[in-house]
Structure 1
Amino acid sequence: MNPEPRNRPFHQVDVFAAEPYRGNPLAVVLDADGLSSGMMQHFANWTNLSETTFLLPPTDPRADYRVRIFTGSEEFPFAGHPTLGSAHTWLEAGGVPHTAGELVQECGAGLVKIRHDAGRLAFAAPPLTRFGPVDAAVRRTLAAGLRLPESAILDASWLVNGPSWVGVLLASAGEVLAIQPDPVAMGDLKVGVIGPHAAGGDADFEVRTFVPGDAMMEDPVTGSFNAGAAKWLIDSGRAPARYVAAQGTVLGRAGRLHISARDDGIWVGGNSTTCIRGTVLL
């Protein structure tokens, strides 16, 4: 049962873009103590954004804060742009981490480290719980759903780190940008497509991600997919240890994800900007 509604601090943050309104928006409810899962889900559906997060005191003493992440229809154990946007909001609201320069977020997937990297917040990519080539049937579904010949798919892999992504590698960024997916043929697959840009630009790869539903949605910028794709591409030698991925181009966005593979894992960074501050009655 929910408590009597009250005004709670609320921010709307643009994530993974250097300028406001060119990335992926996130709704953040601070001080979400006492809200039921049902109320969180109801509010996340109402915001009509890809994700809404709720900040809570941690239950693990190692964590600085706890976050619950909801789409319009389900709760995610982890997602990338909600992680960076929530960390940005927690710090902006006066949060002080246990360890200077590093935050620890508690979420459904466990503890996630976040730190400053070249002036941006970056999260440590969580481990993949499913990682490996797709079978022939899934590959055929991917080709049909992307309206591509199977020969155009250079590789395809499960990249599950919360959301159940399937990664598809194409030969070029141009091929990625030209995709016109078939939502019926794609079925219930969550698909991320990536292809390299020519050298000399401000991004090394172009990314697009597609989420099933009543009508297939293209996500503007997707941290969880890019975290999984980074391990896949770097481990296989297809990407350097540091690179920049562009996403959201066909949607009029300018998402940029800064990937860095270090001794302590893969880090996914990006800029965040608070665009709306206020309160919400919950």
Structure 2
Amino acid sequence: MDQPTVGILHPGSMGAAVAACAATNAAAVLWCATGRSTASVERAAQFRLTPMATLAELLDRSDIVISLCPPAAAEDLARDVVGNRFAGVYVEANAINPERTTRIAALLEPDATVVDGGVVGSPPVGGKTPTLYLSGPVDATERISALFEGTLVRTAVLGTEIGKASALKLAYASFQKTSRVLVALAVGIAREHGVDQELIEVASKRTDSYLSEPQYVAKTAARAWRWGPELEEAADALEAAGLPPEMLRAAASTLARWDEAKDDGELTLTDALDRLAQP
């Protein structure tokens, strides 16, 4: 198969690095310089991307387009592409929810072939190896996998259903990114009372990720009647320290959905998740 020409929309820190990896198996990697910041221009030059004067020119020359932009801009960008009647493979690789991905696919089809993508990990520089999860038509996902073969970007195909890759990306991000915010709040309470070093010492005794222990969700549900009020107390402590309490109050509200599971030692993970989905 001939090497494809690839367009990247738009080369931020992740997009530019991913595009540079695509260049390994592409005839060229293009980007549209019009209206972009000085930082974008410098980044594109650093990764040796080829500038195009207009989006129309980029789309006309590209066999594959990868959309990696701030989530809020994803649909507007897709509409711009639709306006130019792009007919290649469009990789919707933004951190957006599956419903938005499905809407974008509906906008672009049938002219374009849409692949749902989700990048998990840091930008592929300095030896870091993120995974680009893919879902969509078999021929198209195979083309994208071939595009990144032998590069720092690993690929994994989740199936043919649009939305699967987006769902996996957001499910992981919801834990990973919220966890970092929770760390800031926990350390904030501790620092206010001069016990932040002790908190870190306590935490250092356990380094496993709770996300790898989904079976514990059932135990959480059974203890929710106690944990909810405890988090309300922690939220009060945050507020007293001038820190935002809303996240912990929201967690307490979530736990309240399990109030009727009080001390239920027979609860399964499925039971707990089913109850969580009921207001």
On whether the aligned pair clears a TM of 0.5, the verdict is no
TM-score category, normalised to shorter length: under 0.3
The structure with the largest helix share of the pair is 2
Q: Which structure is larger by alpha-carbon Rg, 1 or 2?
A: 2
More strand per residue: 1 or 2?
A: 1
Taking CA–CA contacts closer than 8 Å with sequence separation of 6 or more, which of the two structures ends up with the larger relative contact order? 1
